[in-house]
Amino acid sequence: MSGFAWGDFATGLGWAAAASFAVMLVTFAVAVRKGVHRVVDVAWGVGFAAVAVVGFLVSAGTGDPGRRVLVTVLTVVWGGRLAVHIARRGRGHGEDPRYERMLARAPGNRNLYALRMVYLLQGALVWLVSLPLQAAQYVTGPMTGFAWAGTLLWAVGMFFEAVGDAQLARFKADPAAKGRIMDRGLWRYTRHPNYFGDFCVWWGLFLILCDSFGAAAVCAVSPLVMSLLLTKGSGKRLLERHMAERPGYAEYAARTSGFFPLPPRR
């Protein structure tokens, strides 16, 4: 079992919080200037990438260099792809209906309400969910099979996220698909290939930390929180509530797995 630099990790927690909230505050300033708060969705991936880079810099000379590079690169690749995808998807559109409905109930200044209920909350979630990638920077021993298993699981997740998003984007761009339910490609096997991919990515990053069982035990809350967000929180549950009234969705849901990829039911 590898060692772990607990004191340096404790210091790094502060730097990670600073990076996460800095990204959210800069994004808030941009959103207020543009008058559209949907840009905060772009900051989700950017926030994780910023935490990873800052963690890599402040952990220099402490953790295993190979693991530090691995977890930083994997996080930046994932966060960067997600940020670019969301930015392209939202280009030319107005406010996201989710934020419009939320801000319509704001007691007082809409922007300050958004700052409290969206930006600061997401900053805290980025810090919490990123605990495994923060901690992985401070594991002192060499990488073992846990790191390679985590990298493989991360790769599976990236495949489902990137391919699922690309397939859906092509489907929406096809005029013949208007009014239809996407049930092709990966969407034939799971109603949420992108959320399933996200699930794999974060459990994969957690596995990389598992060379230190003590640190893994402390940080296990993070992939559990992300799993709940994806399945019960702002991910799958809200999207399916929005889609429920669309023609053909009930039939699609009846034959297609709700999360984990499975052959379609007859």
- pLDDT at position 217 is 96
Q: At what angle do helices 40-58 and 120-129 cross, to 10 degrees?
A: 40
Asked if pLDDT for residue 266 goes beyond 90, the answer is: no
Q: Which of 184, 201, 183 is CA-nearest to residue 82?
A: 201
pLDDT in tens, 217-232: 999 999 999 999 898 8
Any alpha helices (H) in 35-175, and if so which ranges?
40-58, 65-90, 97-104, 110-114, 120-129, 131-136, 145-173
Average confidence (pLDDT) over 72-83 = 98
- pLDDT at position 98 is 80
Helix (H) or strand (E) holding 14: helix 6-34
Asked if pLDDT for residue 114 goes beyond 90, the answer is: yes
Q: Can you tell me the distance from the alpha carbon of 50 to that of 124, in angstroms, rounded to the nearest whole number?
A: 14
Higher pLDDT among residues 168 and 236, named by residue:
168
Tally Cβ neighbours within 10 Å of residue 111: 15
Three-class DSSP category at 193: helix
What lies within 8 Å, CB to CB, of 122 at 6+ separation is 24, 40, 43, 44, 47
Three-class DSSP category at 94: coil
- pLDDT at position 249 is 87
- pLDDT at position 1 is 58
Average confidence (pLDDT) over 3-16 = 96
Q: Could you tell me how many residues make up the chain? A: 266
Q: Which residue has the tokens 């849901």?
A: 253
pLDDT tier for residue 235 given thresholds of 50, 70 and 90: low
Asked if pLDDT for residue 100 goes beyond 80, the answer is: yes
Query: Whole-model pTM above 0.85?
Result: yes
Q: What is the mean pLDDT of the chain?
A: 93
pLDDT in tens, 134-167: 999 999 999 999 999 999 999 999 999 999 999 9
- pLDDT at position 177 is 83
